[in-house]
Amino acid sequence: MKGFHFVTYIGSLDQGTSSTRFMIFDHSGKVIGQHQLEHRQIMPHPGWVEHDAAEIWQRVQEVIAGALKQADILGSDLAAIGITNQRETTVVWDVSTGQPLSNAIVWQDTRTTDFLSSLTDSQKEKVRFKTGLTIAPYFAGSKMNWFLSNVPAAKNENARMGTIDSWLLWNLSGGVRGGVHQTDVTNASRTLLMNLETLDWDQELLDIFGVSRSSLPVIKSSSEVYASTDPHGPFGTSIPIAGILGDQQAAMVGQVCFERGESKTTYGTGNFALLNTGTEIVRSKNGLLTTVCFKLGDQPAHYALEGSVAVTGSAIQWLRDQLGIITNAAETENLASSVTDTAGVYFVPAFSGLFAPYWRSDARGAIVGLTRAATKAHLARAALEAICYQTRDVMDAMVADSGVPMREMRVDGGITANSLCMQMQADIMGIDITRPLIGETTALGAAYAAGLAVGFWSSQDEVKKQWQQSRRWSPTSTLDVREAGYKNWKKAVERTLNWVD
């Protein structure tokens, strides 16, 4: 299949927390068509977050039709399609009717907290060691346990469970007419049920969560032909479905972070940072998660360290919506640029505690170092600095865990449009920060995985050559200035701890 260029395009289905979109890329990685639709957020009780999986499948069909129409092409013009998805969100359905047996439980949902607290210390330790994850309702395993305890039909032999990618693959490949039940290693690594070493479901873990292997998808690599689309489905023809990656891992592939030591940070409402640790499983001693980065076909799996920051872009929203010192997020850069420093002000936006690497739920937000000279411009600048300091906290933990020095950091997401913030990031970390020309890194990563599987792109090297930089920021600060600022940041973080008894 090498050099197979007769079919011109690759499709990428990007199923996210608030919306679903289908994007069509040409051979150079350029977007030639896309369509996006939102779906409902269902919150029946405090802490519960659900999606209607049938509604999501309906949206998938609509966005595929919309993108093909916009690009003015047919389904048969696609060489393959890839899938990328909101990780951890979990679906249960009946393979004889094709209907969900309950609403999907979304990654943000916290209803399984009590079940997880009931696990013994030795069970918790076993889960942590085998999966590389922390014990949290965030992951899919406890959501599956909830279905089995609360949805009687979930125990039937026709019931299947999986993360959202497996539901989409099953439907795209025919559903009740013979859909395949498979997932990839990156999504499986977010369930608390897969052993990082064997890359398979682990019987001891299945027993802890009460989940049967027969209800779960078969685990495959992130880049291979899993099935073909149903000719009666939204494409109207049979196309290889050949790439599946959880969204953060897809962004790693889209940023071509194929080598050990390469990292990317996605700046959204919060931040997700991943560091490729190569074929080595690095178990974190600094509050990070260990996860599968990708497995491309028959090649060995690559692993990653992952750290998340709860409040980054949402700190800017807070300045806008709660304090009213800006009317839109884009104003932050001009306001913060009107002063040369923060006048000693530090803002730690620990609105709901601190995530990695602190994991302190007792922390609350603080603004420290205020004097009479402080203005809203200083606060805006301190908010941008907070984004950068929190990112450095996570990245320093990654370097400490892996022993891999960081040469540069690739970035994507909304706030990367703020040049001042990215320059601060380079100055605070003391390394180059680089942003890609194609910003749609998540969808592009799934497209790359699918295209590599069918020979649309001949190799990782060919894909790597496509990566183009739109902007690079190099540090301008001295080591002394950088370390003095970071020392004060750490001091400010101390002031937020032990706030909630």
Q: Is 414 annotated as a binding residue?
A: yes
Cβ atoms < 10 Å from Cβ of 192: 28
Q: Is 248 annotated as a binding residue?
A: yes
Structure tokens at 420: 């001042």
Structure-token pair, residue 275: 């560091």
307 and 293 in contact (C-beta within 8 Å)? no
* 108 marked as binding residue: no
Would you say 87 is a known binding-site residue?
Answer: yes
- Between helix 441-453 and helix 247-254 the angle, nearest 10°, is 80
Ligand-binding site membership of 18 (annotated):
yes
**Does 269 appear as a known binding residue?**
yes
Task: Report helix, strand or coil for 105.
Answer: strand
88 is in an annotated binding site: yes
Burial letters 377-393, b for 16+ CB under 10 A, else e: bbbbbbbbbbbbbbbbb
User: Is 488 annotated as belonging to a binding site?
Assistant: no
Backbone angles phi, psi at 231, to 5 degrees: -60, -20
Tell me whether residue 312 is annotated as binding: no
Q: Check whether 317 is labelled as a binding-site residue.
A: yes
Token reading at 293: 């980065």
Q: What angle do CA 122, 128, 129 make, to 5 degrees?
A: 90
Q: Counting Cβ atoms within 10 Å, is residue 449 exposed (0-12), middle (13-18) or buried (19+)?
A: buried
Radius of gyration of the chain measured on its C-alpha atoms:
23
Is 99 known as a binding-site position?
Answer: no
Structure tokens at 443: 């969808």
Q: Tell me if 321 is assigned to a ligand binding site.
A: no
Phi, psi for 219 (deg, rounded to 5): -90, 125
Cis-peptide, bond into residue 357, ω within 30° of zero: yes
Task: Could you list the residues known to form a binding site for ATP, using ranges.
Answer: 17-19, 269, 313, 317, 414
Residues making up the binding site: 17-19, 21, 87-88, 138, 247-248, 269, 313, 317, 414, 418
Binding-site sequence positions for sn-glycerol 3-phosphate:
17, 87-88, 138, 247
- Residues in the annotated binding site for ADP: 17, 21, 269, 313, 414, 418
